[in-house]
Structure 1
Amino acid sequence: MIVKPSQIGVSSDELSVRSLIFFIIELENLLSYIGKRMLQCKETIAVAESVTSGFLQFSFSQMRDASTFFMGGITAYSLQEKVEILKVDLEEAIKTNCVSSNIAETMALNVAKMYRTNWSIAVTGYATPVEESGKKLFAYFSISHRGKIILSERLDLHSRTKAVNAQLYYSEFILGCFKLELDKQIDTGIDNDKAS
C-alpha cells in the first residue's frame, strides 16, 4: 500500500522541511566525527560546489573549531565562474554543461590550490531534471588529497526527487564518502608511523 503525503495530512513542502530537519539531525554526528578527525590529522580542506549550492560549506562551518581546518570554499554556479575561477576547460564546460567527472576533478584540484589545502571536495550536477541532463538527476563529485584525486564518482537520483532533497542527499553522501577517505588516510598514516 502506498501512502501519499496528502493522506497523512502532510504537504510535500512540509516533507521538504522535515527532510531538512532530519538531514541536520543525522548530520550532527557525522560532522562532529569529521571535525575531530580533521583536528587529529592537522590538515586543511576547501570546497568547490555547484549543485549543492553551499550545503557542503555550511556543513564544514558547523564543525567545532572549523576555522583551524576549513579554509573556505566557492559556490560556482555558472559556466563562466567555473572557467575563470576554477580553471575548468572552456570547450569541455560547453560540451558537458559543466557536468562531468573531469570537471569535478578539475574543480577539486584547483580549489585546493586556491586555498592551499591538503584536502578538497568538489561537486557539480543537476538538482532538477532539465534538457541538458536528459531529464535525469545526477552529480559528479571528487575528493582530492595532497594534489591527487583519491575518489571520483557519479551519483544518480530518481528524476522526481525535489531539488532541495537532491541537494541534501548529494551533500550527505559526499560527506560520508569524505569520512571514509579521511579515515583511510589517517589510519594509513598511523600504520606507517608504527612501522617506522
Structure 2
Amino acid sequence: MVERDDLFTYIGMHLLCAGESISTAESVTSGFIQFSFSQIKDASQFYRGGMTVYTLEEKVSLLKVDQDEAYYCDCVSSNIAETMALNVAKIYKTDWSIAITGYATPVEKSGGKLFAYFSIAYHGKILISEKLDLLCGTESVNAQLYYTDSILKCLRLELGKQKLPDH
C-alpha cells in the first residue's frame, strides 16, 4: 500500500503544481482508475471525471469510436483506446486523459487470452499507447487491478517528463 500511496501522492502533486486536469474512459477496468483518482488528496482540484463505457454502443455514441472497427475487433485495439483517450479529454476539457479497453476474463474473441490496450493523451496528442498481457489463470479482479496499477505507473513516468512551471 505504501507504493500505491506514493504513486497517488506523486500524481496528485504533479497535476496540482502544473495546474492541469485529467479524465478517464474505461472499459475492462470498469471504474478502478476512476476510483483510484478519487483516493488522491485534493482530487477535485485536477480530476474532472471519467466514464465507464462497457459496450460497443456506448463507445460509439459517447466516445466517437468507429462502429465498424469496433465491431471487427470487439472494441479491443490500440486505435480504439487512442480514440477513447482523445475524445474523453474533449468531453471533460482536460489536459490529460487515460483510456483502456481489453479483457479481464478469457473469451473466444480474445483467443482465450487476457490483454488490454491503454492510451495516455496530453493536450490532444497520444503520448503512450501500449498493450498489457496477462497469464490466462489470473482472476478477473486481479487483472483489473494489474491494469490499473500499470497505467498509473505509466502516467507517473509521463508526468515526470513534463516540466513543471516555476512558482
Q: TM-score, normalised by structure 2?
A: 0.96
Residue 50 (1) aligns with residue 21 (2): no
Structure 1 runs of 4+ aligned residues shifted over 3 Å read: none
* Sequence identity percentage: 63
State which of 126, 130, 142 in structure 1 corresponds to 2:103: 126
The one-letter code sitting in structure 1 at the alignment partner of 2:6 is N
Task: Determine helix, strand or coil for the equivalent of 2:75.
Answer: coil
Task: For structure 2, list consecutive stretches of 5 or more residues without a partner in the other structure.
Answer: none
State which of 54, 61, 83 in structure 2 corresponds to 1:106: 83
State which of 135, 148, 151 in structure 2 corresponds to 1:171: 148
Residue 162 (1) aligns with residue 139 (2): yes
Residue 80 (1) aligns with residue 76 (2): no
Task: Determine helix, strand or coil for the equivalent of 1:152.
Answer: strand
Aligned-pair distance for 1:142?
Answer: 0.1
Aligned-pair distance for 1:117?
Answer: 0.3
Task: Determine helix, strand or coil for the equivalent of 1:35.
Answer: helix
Task: Return the alpha-carbon distance in structure 1 between the equivalents of residues 3 and 36 of structure 2.
Answer: 12
Residue 62 (1) aligns with residue 31 (2): no
Aligned-pair distance for 1:33?
Answer: 1.2
| Correspondence for 2:120 | 143
The one-letter code sitting in structure 1 at the alignment partner of 2:127 is I
Task: For structure 1, list consecutive stretches of 5 or more residues without a partner in the other structure.
Answer: 1-23
Offset from partner CA, 1:83-112 (integer Å, 9 cap, x none): 000110000000000000000000000000
Q: TM-score, normalised by structure 1?
A: 0.82
State which of 12, 30, 35 in structure 1 corresponds to 2:7: 30
Aligned length: 166
Task: Determine helix, strand or coil for the equivalent of 2:104.
Answer: coil
Offset from partner CA, 1:37-57 (integer Å, 9 cap, x none): 111111000000000010000
Task: Determine helix, strand or coil for the equivalent of 2:152.
Answer: helix
Higher radius of gyration, 1 or 2: 1
Task: Return the alpha-carbon distance in structure 2 between the equivalents of residues 73 and 30 of structure 1.
Answer: 19
Aligned-pair distance for 1:29?
Answer: 1.6
- The 5 Å alignment of 1:5-16 reads none
Aligned-pair distance for 1:25?
Answer: 5.1
| Correspondence for 1:182 | 159
Task: Return the alpha-carbon distance in structure 2 between the equivalents of residues 143 and 107 of structure 1.
Answer: 10
Q: Which has the higher helix share?
A: 1
Q: Which has the higher contact order (CA 8 A, sep 6+)?
A: 2
Aligned-pair distance for 1:26?
Answer: 3.6
The one-letter code sitting in structure 1 at the alignment partner of 2:22 is I
Task: Return the alpha-carbon distance in structure 2 between the equivalents of residues 25 and 76 of structure 1.
Answer: 30
| Correspondence for 1:16 | none
| Correspondence for 1:117 | 94
CA root-mean-square deviation: 1.1
Task: Determine helix, strand or coil for the equivalent of 1:142.
Answer: strand
